Amino acid sequence: MLTQDLLSKFRKTAAETGSPAEALVRMLEEVLPPILPGMRAELSYEDAIGYFVASRPQGVEPAKGVILRSARSGGSVIFQAFLTTGNAIVTGADGRPAGRRLYCKKIDGELAEAFGGGDMIVVE
């Protein structure tokens, strides 16, 4: 579950940036494991959704997932995390969020369509 400290930090950052998505990106940058080595040429919708199926945290039943995109020079950093029914980030026994971040040059058409004009997808 999301600790009170993280929740307070999220609320403060969301107020400062005016964007809950950007606040979540900043928070995940700090707490998720480092970016997976190397840059993927492309991330597909199938790969992104497949991650939620293959990497479900043990001992907790996440209700949904979130995929966030943050533009970077030459590509995007993609964040994926699991959420509870109350939209809190699922954490492991060590208190770290269950999720990943990776760098990719581009996303496929299906994933781009799912993002629409935004930078966040909630997967239920």
- Helix, coil or strand: residue 122: strand
pLDDT tens profile 99-124: 888 889 999 999 999 999 889 999 98
pLDDT tens profile 63-101: 899 999 988 788 888 999 998 888 888 887 777 888 888
Predicted confidence at residue 101, as pLDDT, reads 85
Q: Which letter does DSSP use for residue 88 in this model?
A: P
pLDDT tens profile 29-70: 666 655 556 678 899 999 999 999 998 888 777 889 999 998
Which of residues 9 and 48 earns the better pLDDT score? 48
Give domain limits for the chain.
4-123
- Please name which of 13, 11, 33 lies closest in space to residue 77, comparing C-alpha atoms: 33
